């Protein structure tokens, strides 16, 4: 864990300096803005203890004897989310499926879908993409996980008010809710999320509102956490009780660890940890170019989807209750045009639709990816400028306005984005 490692390093350096009688230059601790695994302010002592427990579990590397697999992608949460920041293409993962004759998407559960687990425990075989002509697949990078509790705590009513599926205001932007069909499993997780975090998870006539994941296919942080443990690590829980197996080599599982492999305490601690991670800290907010760039961001309508400010509802975690924050997202699905159409879909999204990615932490992404930034869902863009150039569909008009900016104005909007 980055925060603990840095704290230990700071203690070692302090001790060394106390023993040295000479004036030596040593590296200082990094700026607070570059530390992502820190809690939000205002937690109680009990909430802080649970945060620390969740931090430990998030970094825990599971062994085969603890239930890892039999097929999996990574042995720990922070394998894909290094330092709680965005993932590197080296640790990307694949999801796949196909369309039937009527054009309905099939996640191919009977052939190992929706996620390709490309690693396996000893004596077992990892999956490979099915050898079919009609398969579609997408390569994805894990996003940053900071500030998620604030996003979870936004009332459904706020998102419903932001949605404009018919583009009634005529601005060309028609963000819509990612409706997820209600099931007994989701009902149970929604109830636990409400009791554990105070978040009011509502069941509507059309189901639940998805807000987490690249296509908003998860309704709560518990839902997201259960899915990640099961699909990424092959770990079972009360909400996913059957090991993922490689149907390409037979039905039998080589994992002999009793299920569920994760206790409710682990899920509670990790979900709380994710819920109480603070959002990234802004930098250079008073820089004239940053101030000018923020105004341009509004003028060319980027803020229509990347909404600068949201407010949470009430929560039993006081630090998350009725808080105004700046994530730069509306948590809605938007048609991003053919440039970002990967042919794959999940939840209530179409293949051209993506949930608006929060922009907070954008300027620090490269620090977590080895010094070179990888942007968008698959890391195809190597700069923020290149990421903007891939925006089509509902964002095409804003992209064109960006292209028409002067060199100075373009530098200013990029300075603003780098400050987030």
Q: pLDDT digits over 312-338, tens only? A: 998 889 999 999 999 999 999 999 999
Q: Is the pLDDT of residue 2 over 50?
A: no
Handedness of CA 320, 322, 326, 331 (dihedral sign): positive
Residue 23 maps to a domain? yes
Quote the radius of gyration of the chain (alpha carbons, Å): 22
CA distance 203 to 155: 12
β-bridge partners, 333 = 176, 355
pLDDT of residue 32: 77
CA distance 261 to 60: 14
**Confidence category of residue 29, pLDDT binned at 50, 70, 90:** low
CA distance 236 to 157: 33
Selected residue with higher pLDDT from 375 and 91: 375
Residue 198 maps to a domain? no
242 is written with which tokens?
């059957």
Distance separating the N- and C-terminal Cα atoms of the chain: 23
Domain count, the chain: 2
* Residue 66 C-alpha from the chain's centroid: 26
- Whichever domain contains 403, its CATH number is 1.10.760
Question: What is the DSSP secondary-structure string of 151-180?
Answer: HHTS-HHHHHHH--TT-TT-SS---B-EEE
Neighbour tally for 185: CB within 10 Å = 13
Contact 312, 297 (CB under 8 A): no
CA distance 33 to 157: 32
Q: Is the pLDDT of residue 231 over 90?
A: yes
Q: Is the pLDDT of residue 213 over 60?
A: yes
pLDDT of residue 18: 40
Residue 222 maps to a domain? no
Residue 378 maps to a domain? yes
**Confidence category of residue 250, pLDDT binned at 50, 70, 90:** confident
pLDDT of residue 365: 94
Q: Is the pLDDT of residue 226 over 60?
A: yes
9-23, 143-157, 222-236, 270-284: segment of lowest average pLDDT: 9-23
Mean pLDDT of 260-278: 96
Residue 136 maps to a domain? no
Residue 51 maps to a domain? no
Q: Nearest CA to 369 among 150, 91, 170, 107?
A: 91
Contact 144, 84 (CB under 8 A): yes
**Confidence category of residue 19, pLDDT binned at 50, 70, 90:** very low
Residue 388 maps to a domain? yes
Domain range for residue 343? 288-418
Question: Per-residue b/e over 126-146, b at no fewer than 16 CB within 10 Å?
Answer: bbeebeeeebbbbbbbbbbbb
Residue 87 maps to a domain? no
């Amino acid at each position: 864990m980055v925060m603990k490692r840095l704290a230990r390093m700071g203690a070692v350096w302090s001790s060394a300096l106390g023993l040295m009688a000479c004036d030596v230059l040593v590296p200082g601790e990094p700026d607070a803005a570059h530390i992502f695994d820190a809690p939000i302010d205002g937690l109680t002592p009990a909430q802080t203890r649970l945060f620390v427990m969740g931090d430990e579990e998030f970094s825990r590397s599971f062994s085969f004897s603890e239930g890892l697999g039999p097929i999996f992608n990574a042995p720990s949460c922070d394998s894909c989310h290094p330092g709680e920041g965005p993932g590197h293409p080296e640790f990307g993962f694949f999801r796949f499926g196909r369309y039937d004759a009527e054009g309905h998407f099939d996640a191919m559960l009977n052939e190992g879908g929706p996620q390709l687990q490309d690693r396996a425990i000893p004596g077992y075989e990892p999956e490979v993409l099915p050898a079919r002509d009609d398969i579609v697949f997408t390569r994805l990078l894990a996003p940053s996980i900071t500030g998620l509790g604030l996003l979870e705590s936004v009332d459904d009513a706020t998102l419903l008010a932001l949605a404009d599926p018919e583009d009634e205001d005529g601005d060309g932007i028609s963000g819509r809710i990612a409706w997820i069909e209600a099931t007994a499993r989701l009902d149970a997780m929604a109830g636990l999320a409400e009791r554990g975090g105070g978040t009011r998870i509502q069941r509507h006539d059309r189901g639940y509102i998805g807000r987490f994941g690249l296509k908003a296919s998860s309704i709560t942080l518990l839902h997201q956490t259960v899915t990640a443990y099961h699909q990424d690590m092959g770990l079972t829980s009360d909400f996913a009780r059957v090991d993922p197996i490689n149907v390409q080599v037979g039905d039998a599982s080589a994992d002999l660890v009793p299920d569920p492999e994760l206790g409710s305490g682990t899920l509670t601690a990790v979900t709380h940890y994710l819920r109480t991670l603070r959002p990234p800290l802004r930098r250079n907010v008073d820089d004239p170019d940053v101030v000018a760039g923020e105004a341009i961001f509004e003028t060319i309508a980027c803020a229509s989807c990347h909404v600068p400010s949201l407010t949470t509802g009430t929560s039993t975690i006081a630090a998350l209750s009725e808080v105004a924050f700046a994530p730069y997202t509306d948590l809605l699905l938007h048609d991003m045009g053919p440039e970002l159409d990967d042919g794959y879909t999940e939840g209530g999204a179409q293949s051209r639709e993506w949930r608006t990615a929060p922009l907070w932490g954008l300027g620090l992404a490269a620090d977590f990816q080895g010094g070179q930034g990888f942007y968008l869902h698959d890391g195809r863009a190597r700069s923020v400028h290149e990421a903007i150039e891939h925006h089509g569909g509902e964002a095409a008009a804003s992209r064109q306005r960006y292209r028409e900016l002067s060199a100075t104005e373009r530098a200013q909007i990029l300075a603003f984005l780098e400050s987030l």
